[in-house]
């Protein structure tokens, strides 16, 4: 159970989050909405463990290796190929049957044919798909997704829809999005940031 109470995050003088509280069950799906600058990205970074709260409580009972994260950057090395990137992450996350899993994910996101091309030759949509492969590679128990649909074309978005539906019952989700209508049906709870 992920628990937050009176969560505050301040960067120097700027208070980005104030008095945020929520709960997410191990199979829950928290949908985070709000205008630009409302702190969605900061909140998700806190959940993923990339930042620590300035005040309040945040309890995320998942080890680092069990969390999958999508941020604004795809977090892949541009000079490496998709295969090399996923191989690196696979090693760092101790993914069992690394090669098979990498191949499977690349195929599911339609990147298998481009697997040996450097990421700097990828389009924005392809990079986002690669980022999704990276986030799902280690079969995480918690998925923290910051605007996962951004950059995806219709086909990519459909692929992501399918992945989310399939993983819905086996993981907890904290998802920030500008387009809540798309995944509204999956959400078990919502949080609107001012």
Nearer to other proteins, 70 or 187 (CB): 70
Rounded Cα distance between 136 and 111, Å, is: 14
Smallest distance, other proteins to C-beta of residue 185, A:
29
Nearer to other proteins, 4 or 187 (CB): 4
Closest CA to 171 of 26, 43, 13: 26
Determine the 3-state secondary structure of 8 from DSSP. Answer: strand
DSSP strand E in 55-180: where?
A: 55-59, 67-70, 142-146, 172-176
Q: Are 7 and 166 in contact (CB under 8 A)?
A: no
- Evaluated on CA atoms 21, 190, 128, 151, the torsion sign reads negative
Smallest distance, other proteins to C-beta of residue 39, A:
14
Nearer to other proteins, 19 or 26 (CB): 19
Nearer to other proteins, 98 or 182 (CB): 98
Applying CB under 8 A, the residues found at the interface with other proteins are 10-15, 48-52, 63-65, 67, 69, 71-80, 84, 88-89, 91-94, 118, 134
Smallest distance, other proteins to C-beta of residue 92, A:
4
């Amino acid at each position: 159970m992920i628990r937050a109470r009176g969560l505050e995050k301040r960067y120097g003088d700027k208070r980005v989050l104030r008095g945020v509280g929520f709960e997410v069950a191990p199979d829950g799906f928290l949908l985070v909405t709000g205008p630009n600058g409302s702190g969605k990205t900061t909140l998700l970074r806190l959940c993923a463990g990339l930042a620590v709260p300035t005040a309040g409580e945040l309890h995320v009972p998942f080890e680092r290796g069990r969390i999958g994260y999508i941020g604004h950057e795809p977090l892949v090395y541009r000079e490496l190929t998709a295969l090399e990137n996923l191989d690196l992450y696979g090693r760092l996350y101790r993914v069992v049957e690394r090669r098979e899993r990498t191949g499977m994910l690349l195929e599911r996101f339609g990147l298998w044919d481009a697997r040996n091309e450097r990421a700097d030759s990828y389009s924005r949509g392809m990079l986002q798909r690669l980022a999704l492969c990276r986030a799902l590679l280690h079969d995480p128990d918690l998925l923290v997704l910051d605007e996962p649909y951004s950059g995806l074309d219709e086909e990519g978005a459909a692929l992501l829809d399918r992945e989310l539906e399939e993983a819905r019952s086996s993981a907890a989700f904290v998802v920030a999005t500008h387009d809540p209508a798309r995944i509204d049906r999956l959400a078990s709870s919502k949080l609107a940031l001012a």
